[in-house]
Amino acid sequence: MPELPEVETIKEELNRRIKGKRIAGVKALWSGIVKIPLKKFIGAIMDAEIMGVERRAKILVMPLGNGFTILMHLKMTGQLIYDPRFTPPAGGQDLRKILQEPKYKYARIIFFFIGKGALIFNDLRKFAYIKLIPSGNINDIIGKEKLGPEPLTPDFTLEKFKSILKKYPKRRIKQLLMDPVIIAGIGNIYSDEICFYAGVLPVKPAGKLSNSQRERLYDGIKKILLRAIELRGSSVDNYVDASGKKGDYVKELKVYDREGESCFRCPGIVKRIKLGGRSSYFCPRCQK
DNA sequence: TATATTGTTACACC
DNA sequence: TGGTGTAACAATAT
């Protein structure tokens, strides 16, 4: 499940690998992932240069040289893998063979680049999407009216976080942390890890947090997300980076997916509950 | 076959 | 009005 650190990892790698390349062709194995008519999509991006890759919340933002921008969301099981072995469709006799590899079993869309190489969008669950928008409309789609602040930018200050908590005093803290309209990019895994770091129960209403809990949560947001980026994300489920490699933050997960196991901080046992339909893991002994 | 999963939206309620 | 909570939906593996 790619969240902010995983998408950030993919973003950095794509910048190293496909920035400056031009799109030579697109092959759709399942066109439903593209949210505009496929022919229109292909027509609009053909021959365009990839100007770079950015991230907003969990969305990859790829401005093109022709005034359009591609938006890609991996949702639960999306993967974006750059593979240098592919050649443009005209000369792609190896295409069929490569696509038979297990890692491409759920390949949905392939972007071929002029010269060589391709970007393969895999998605088992088919929840992921690709959208194309005029670059000028970017703020209407992913601006701060639509999505909460980026938690790692300098303007996400302790004061700002406290004012958010004040605005939604009845929301349970885990659900507040993972609400994309309130704060961008934090999902099920990191919200649990941040609550554990802060020693706060995920069900605690934001308005009932002590001052030191509020500060520890703020601290945890920054520290845990940065550390996870450093380790190239968490590979629970099927997450891999743009080279198809797993992330190492799973080794540092303290509560997520550890139901019934011992707490790393106290003699408690990690518990799982349902919160808004999602699994939530925490230690009932040391989280208050 | 029932269940698990996320972002988004619709809707009811206060 | 806007904060809040719940449910439904997309699709598929296990």
Nearest amino-acid residue to B5, taking CA and C1': A76
Q: HSE, CB side, 13 Å, CA atoms: give it for residue A274.
A: 2
Contact residues for strand B with beta carbon within 7 Å: A 1, 3, 58, 73, 75-76, 125, 127, 147, 178, 180-181, 187-189, 277-279
Residue-wise pLDDT for A104-149, tens only, equals 999 999 999 999 899 999 999 899 999 999 999 998 888 888 899 9
| Residue–nucleotide distance: A257 CA to C4 C1' (Å) | 28
- A92 band by pLDDT with thresholds 50, 70 and 90: low
User: Which burial class, exposed, middle or buried, applies to A163 when counting CB atoms under 10 A from its CB (0-12, 13-18, 19+)?
Assistant: exposed
Prediction pTM value: 0.94
| Residue–nucleotide distance: A33 CA to C13 C1' (Å) | 19
The helix (run of H) or strand (run of E) holding residue A23 is strand A23-28
Within 7 Å: CB of A127 and strand C? yes
Are A49 and A22 contacting, i.e. CB atoms less than 8 angstroms apart?
yes
* pLDDT in the model for residue A221: 95
Are A148 and A56 contacting, i.e. CB atoms less than 8 angstroms apart?
no
* pLDDT in the model for residue A121: 94
What is the pLDDT averaged over residues A238-244?
Answer: 79
Residue-wise pLDDT for A60-84, tens only, equals 999 999 999 999 999 988 999 999 9
* pLDDT in the model for residue A239: 80
Rounded-to-integer distance, Cα A38 and Cα A33, Å: 10
| Residue–nucleotide distance: A279 CA to B10 C1' (Å) | 23
Residue-wise pLDDT for A244-253, tens only, equals 878 888 888 9
Nucleotides of chain B within 7 Å of a protein C-beta? 4-8
Q: Does pLDDT of A97 surpass 60?
A: yes
* pLDDT in the model for residue A89: 59
SS3 per residue for A199-260: CCCCCCEHHHCCHHHHHHHHHHHHHHHHHHHHCCCECCCCCCCCCCCCCEHHHHCCCCCCCC
The helix (run of H) or strand (run of E) holding residue A26 is strand A23-28
Nucleotide nearest to A180 in CA–C1' terms: B7
Name all contacts of A163-171 with Cβ < 8 Å and 24+ positions apart.
Answer: A164/A206, A165/A206, A165/A207, A165/A209, A165/A214, A166/A206, A166/A207, A168/A206, A169/A205, A169/A206, A169/A207, A169/A208, A170/A205, A170/A206, A170/A207, A171/A205, A171/A206
Q: Does pLDDT of A41 surpass 60?
A: yes
Q: Which residues of A are catalytic?
A: 2-3, 58, 278
| Cα dist from A89 to A37, A94, A114, A118, A250, whole Å | 21, 10, 10, 10, 38
| Residue–nucleotide distance: A283 CA to B1 C1' (Å) | 33
What is the pLDDT averaged over residues A42-64?
Answer: 95
| Residue–nucleotide distance: A176 CA to B14 C1' (Å) | 20
Within 7 Å: CB of A163 and strand C? no
* pLDDT in the model for residue A86: 85
Average pLDDT, chain A: 91
